[in-house]
Amino acid sequence: MTPAGFFTWLWDRLNVFATVFLGIFVEAVPYLLLGTLASGLVEVFLDRDQMSRWISGRPIAAAVSGAFMGMIFPVCECGVVPLTRRLFHKGLPLSAGISFLLAAPVLNPIVILSTAAAFGWGQMLFWRIGLSLLIAIVTGLIFSVEKEAGNVLRPSLTLSNEHIHANPESENSFPGKIREALLITADEFFEMGRYLVFGSVLAAALQTFISQSALLTIGSGPVLSVLVMLGLAVLLSICSTVDAFVALGFVGTFSFGSVLSFLVFGPMVDIKSVLMYLQVFKRRSVFYIVAIPFMMSLLSGLVFNYLFP
């Protein structure tokens, strides 16, 4: 390749990189903002006593209720991380928090409607919701054996949301609480946003310089197809609110099981969400948060490919 040809190729790659990066980042920012706003409101308006009344301390009940909390908060995999961290600060049981973290990006109403719009109110939607619930609850139950949350969570970070106000008594008023919630929202948005930027850069670089056609070529078998789709779920780092439309493009080329595994695993684990997990959990915990859904998604895809082709 001549120097002129190399620079032309590099320029084209950089244009692709910029396009992919902006697509991932712009797609995720509104949901990160929504998640940090929910985090600010939780900090100001929710206390530990309320949390203990709403969420049972028993592991199974906590894991199940945590998973179904995802139907209340319309947050994707970016926005759910700061919200979960804030809920942990408010005393949310570990099993409930893990279940909520994994289930919310699929169970929130926006994702359910987008999946139904892409695939209809049929098997793909049913199995996506059912398997996501199952994986989230099982993962939460596995973490419930750890009685000391400090062994799973990182040491509490000092958030830059301690502000000095001219009239502290005004913070007891509703406008004062809203102001405080917005200040917390801004702090967490910029804190978590840098990891979103870095994750988007990494995902865009992988998509730009790794040939996806090569991955698709080797993904024709019942096992390889699932592995390739799981890899693409991490590589593409698509927001869960629109990933159903991307998955729809693989129907006909990939098996039902492999597409389903993409839709289940992608919202739980991708490049940008893993970087955010590392700001909440210790590294060993993040490994299990990634590995358990991966193995269960892989097993689910294989079961559908072999037993229900």
Tell me if 226 sits within 8 A of 258, measured CB to CB.
yes
Backbone φ, ψ for residue 210 (5° rounding): -110, 125
Reading the block at residue 288, the tokens are: 């299990």
Q: Name the β-bridge partners of 254.
A: 251
* Predicted pLDDT of residue 67: 92
Reading the block at residue 303, the tokens are: 């079961």
* Predicted pLDDT of residue 197: 87
* Predicted pLDDT of residue 218: 67
Q: Render each residue's pLDDT in the chain as its tens digit; 309 residues.
A: 688 888 888 888 899 889 988 887 887 788 778 878 887 888 788 776 666 667 777 889 989 998 998 888 777 788 889 889 888 888 888 999 999 999 999 998 888 988 898 899 999 999 999 999 999 999 999 999 988 888 999 886 434 334 433 344 445 688 888 898 898 888 888 877 888 888 788 878 877 877 767 666 766 789 999 999 999 899 888 888 778 888 887 887 789 999 999 999 999 999 989 999 998 999 999 999 999 999 999 999 999 999 987
What's the CA gap between 250 and 261, in Å, rounded? 12
Q: Which of 61, 74, 4 is nearest to 33 (CA)?
A: 74
What's the CA gap between 253 and 77, in Å, rounded? 27
Domain residue spans of the chain? 3-149+160-307
* Predicted pLDDT of residue 20: 84
* Predicted pLDDT of residue 4: 82
128: number of Cβ within 10 Å: 24
Q: Which DSSP category does 158 fall into?
A: -
Reading the block at residue 25, the tokens are: 């980042």
151: number of Cβ within 10 Å: 11
What's the CA gap between 283 and 277, in Å, rounded? 9
For helices 123-143 and 109-119, give the axis angle rounded to 10 degrees: 140
For tokens 């998973």, the residue is 67
Handedness of CA 180, 69, 107, 200 (dihedral sign): positive
203: number of Cβ within 10 Å: 23
The shares of helix, strand and coil residues in the chain, as percent rounded to the nearest 5, are: 75, 0, 25
For tokens 């998509």, the residue is 207
Q: Which pTM does this prediction carry?
A: 0.82
* Predicted pLDDT of residue 170: 42
* Predicted pLDDT of residue 163: 40
Reading the block at residue 204, the tokens are: 């865009």
